[in-house]
Amino acid sequence: MSDQHRRFLRLRQLPHVWCPGCGNGSIVKALLTAIGDLGLDQDRVAVISGIGCAGRAPFILDFNTMHTTHGRALAFATGMKLVNPDLKVIVIMGDGDASAIGGNHFIHSCRRNLDLTALVFNNGIYGLTGGQLAPTTPAGKRSTTSMSGNIEHAFDLVRLALGAGAGFVARTTSYDNKQMVTFFKRAISHKGFAFVDVMTACPTYFGRMNDLGEPYELLHYLRDTTSPSEDIAREHDESPPADLMPTGIFRDEERRDYGTLYSQRALATSGKGRS
């Protein structure tokens, strides 16, 4: 662990609770690299999470942190950002957290465009509670509640966020440290709601249930089941093969964010905005 990462960690909280080979550690490391590279003031960064394995990240992070309730991280983050507009607010959610119990908060946050960075640690399963089916479990894959294979279709969180109007939308994997760092920096710098879907490895449940082998083999699975979006557009005339998840930045458009509009309206209605 380098000094760049160490200064952002609550060392007294280590070791963390994640299983050996879990992708969450790689994602957090990339996030800390991004925050360090951007030169953000540690005291002006807030990290807010819901409940789940992903939700444990703020325990070890030395920023302003909140470990909130399952599915409600974005609601807490919305309040925190509105009363502290200068904070960089980063929200960490599990895929179940963000798209099942928190699904409505997710789509309305994309629509509302408050200046938040939302990262979903997408392991395709409910990790903390024992490997149950999530809305993101790929069709055909096994979980502890779909032992003979999932018969539902999975949410594609990138398409969901694009449809709901998020200004910055990207997908990466915990296999690709360099891409994670680049996308996290772009997302954090984006003024408005930014979402990154991070496909990650849960060797304990997703990997074991689906006979995907050792943790490093699960990383190869992430590599082999995703494809850069540019390649897909070039090779497949914009129709990605159904078995490959595209990674890349799918939208990066700035439009007036909710916080700016809200403070302008508040000033105008209090009379202070009138000359």
258 near ligand SF4 (CB under 6 A): no
97 binds, among ligand TPP, ligand SF4, none (CB under 5 to 8 A by kind): ligand TPP
Contacts 24+ apart (CB under 8 A), 224-228: 226/171, 226/173, 226/199
Q: Which is nearer to ligand SF4, 116 or 180 (CB)?
A: 180
Task: Mark 201-230 with x for binding to ligand SF4 (rule: CB under 6 A) and - for no binding.
Answer: -xxxx-------------------------
203 binds, among ligand TPP, ligand SF4, none (CB under 5 to 8 A by kind): ligand SF4
Give the E-state strand segments of 8-116 in sequence order: 45-49, 64-67, 88-94
55 near ligand SF4 (CB under 6 A): no
250 binds, among ligand TPP, ligand SF4, none (CB under 5 to 8 A by kind): none
What is the 8-class DSSP label of residue 79? H
170 near ligand SF4 (CB under 6 A): no
Q: 37: exposed, middle or buried (C-beta count within 10 Å: 0-12, 13-18, 19+)?
A: middle
Contact 240, 227 (CB under 8 A): yes
204 binds, among ligand SF4, ligand TPP, none (CB under 5 to 8 A by kind): ligand SF4
Q: How far is the CB of 150 from ligand SF4 (least distance, A)?
A: 17
Nearest-CA neighbor of 30 among 8, 10, 53, 63?
8
Q: How far is the CB of 131 from ligand SF4 (least distance, A)?
A: 7
22 binds, among ligand TPP, ligand SF4, none (CB under 5 to 8 A by kind): ligand SF4
Q: How far is the CB of 210 from ligand SF4 (least distance, A)?
A: 13
Q: What is the token pair recorded at 211?
A: 């006979």
Q: How far is CA 83 from the centre of its chain?
A: 23
Contact 165, 113 (CB under 8 A): yes
**Rounded Cα–Cα distance for residues 222 and 95 (Å):** 16
Q: Which is nearer to ligand SF4, 22 or 114 (CB)?
A: 22
Q: 138: exposed, middle or buried (C-beta count within 10 Å: 0-12, 13-18, 19+)?
A: middle
Choose, by CB under 6 A, the member of 22, 57, 91, 199 that binds ligand SF4. 22
Residues that bind ligand TPP (CB under 6 A): 51-54, 70, 94-97, 101, 121, 123, 125-129, 134
Contact 101, 91 (CB under 8 A): no
Q: How far is the CB of 34 from ligand TPP (least distance, A)?
A: 20
Dihedrals phi, psi of 88, to nearest 5 degrees: -85, 115
259 binds, among ligand TPP, ligand SF4, none (CB under 5 to 8 A by kind): none
Contact residues toward ligand SF4 (CB under 6 A) are 18-19, 22, 24, 53, 123, 127-128, 202-205
